[in-house]
Chains A and B, each alone.
Chain A
Amino acid sequence: MHQPIATTRSATGIPTGRLAVWWVIASEIVIFGGLLGSYVMYRLLHDAWSIEAANTHTLAGATNTFVLLTSSLFVVLGHHAAEHGDGKKAFRYLWLTILGGFIFLIIKSIEWTGEIHHGFVMTKSLFWAFYYTAAGLHALHVIAGMVIMAIISFDTIKNKNLHRVELIGIYWHFVDIVWIFLFPLLYIAK
């Protein structure tokens, strides 16, 4: 059977598919780093942002951090199962990870609904513009990860292309790391 180049070639000592994911993450570091760096600069400039930040919901942010950390555990266990040729187990872990993503998005939706209801909309101030942009861009990455994971899972259950579980896992862990930094910036530093 013909194998894709990403699976078979490893001119750099790393399978090309995995190297590509690392490059994606390298570019994502600049995207999120620029956004968070700008936020930190303006946060230092405006002491009064702590008053705005006091309106974010710490419990929701902490719960979402827990959910993402747990989903990261599921996807790394899925990777472990895939490495041992157990596609069915990897499939289950992938869907548990997707479930984690759903819970994350549901909590975020409830949280945003409350904030918007209280008048904390994106155009209220620069703080809320940063808040919705950073958390929104992160949420888009969560959705993208869930969609890719769902697509990969249907091959995984047939024990096909099991190496892809690791590739989506690396991406998902990165999304987790971004949230690890967003959480103290948006919810803790009040």
Chain B
Amino acid sequence: MSAETSPKHYVKIWAILVVLLILSVLGPMLGIKLVTLLTAFGIAIVKATMVANHFMHLNIEKKYISYLLIGMVLMVFLFVGGTSPDVLMPEGQHWEKQVIEQPVELDHGGHE
């Protein structure tokens, strides 16, 4: 039995994932934007990579599966990158936004 596919190894990976989850919740409590980005989103990337490599066994799967999945992620970046100017900019070369979206109202009735 390979060390990377033993129950002990899986429990170790799970424990690391739980510690990372706790860090990703505590980090943003400091209220520093950079720390929030690193702890929330940076840790999410680390956690996802760990699940993919150690639980889905991508690290020992045929390489072309990784290329297939990374290719799909790049395609999403291409789609989002291509449409983002239309969403984020108020006007372009031959167009301008006709509808101005209203800001949301403050709501103090939330439950956390």
Most buried by A among B36, B52, B61, B104: B104
Of the listed stretches A99-107, A133-141, A155-163, A176-184, chain B binds A176-184
A25 with B18, Cβ < 8 A, contacts A14-B62, A48-B103, A188-B36 known: no
A95 in the interface (beta carbon within 8 A): no
Chain B 4-19 residues near chain A, CB threshold 8 A: 5-7, 10-11, 13-14, 17-18
A106-121 toward B: CB 8 Å interface, digit per residue (1/0)? 0000000011001110
Q: Which of B18, B24, B43, B103 contacts A46 (CB 8 A)?
A: B103
Inter-chain contact B36/A29, CB cutoff 8 Å: no
Which applies to chain A's interface (DSSP): helix, strand, loop or mixed?
A: helix
Inter-chain contact A37/B36, CB cutoff 8 Å: no
Inter-chain contact B76/A177, CB cutoff 8 Å: no
Q: Which of A13, A33, A73 contacts B76 (CB 8 A)?
A: A33
* A126 (CB) vs chain B CBs: closest residue: B101
B92 in the interface (beta carbon within 8 A): no
Q: Which of A29, A72, A80, A188 contacts B24 (CB 8 A)?
A: A188
Chain B 58-86 residues near chain A, CB threshold 8 A: 61-62, 64-65, 68-69, 71-73, 75-77, 79-80, 83-84
Inter-chain contact B56/A173, CB cutoff 8 Å: yes
Inter-chain contact A33/B73, CB cutoff 8 Å: yes
Q: How far is the CA of A170 from the CA of B60 in the complex (A)?
A: 13
Chain A hits for B44, CB < 8 A = 180-181, 183-184
Question: Number of residues in B with C-beta < 8 Å to the partner?
Answer: 51
Inter-chain contact A46/B112, CB cutoff 8 Å: no
B12-48 toward A: CB 8 Å interface, digit per residue (1/0)? 0110011001001100100000001000110110011
B94 in the interface (beta carbon within 8 A): no
B96 in the interface (beta carbon within 8 A): no
Q: How far is the CA of A46 from the CA of B102 in the complex (A)?
A: 10
Q: How far is the CA of A83 from the CA of B2 in the complex (A)?
A: 13
Looking at the assembled complex, report how far the CB atom of B73 sits from the nearest CB atom of chain A, in whole angstroms: 6
Chain B hits for A131, CB < 8 A = none
8 extra interface residue pairs, beta carbon distance < 8 Å, beyond A57-B111, A118-B111, A181-B44: A45-B87, A46-B104, A56-B112, A59-B112, A69-B21, A119-B107, A125-B104, A169-B55
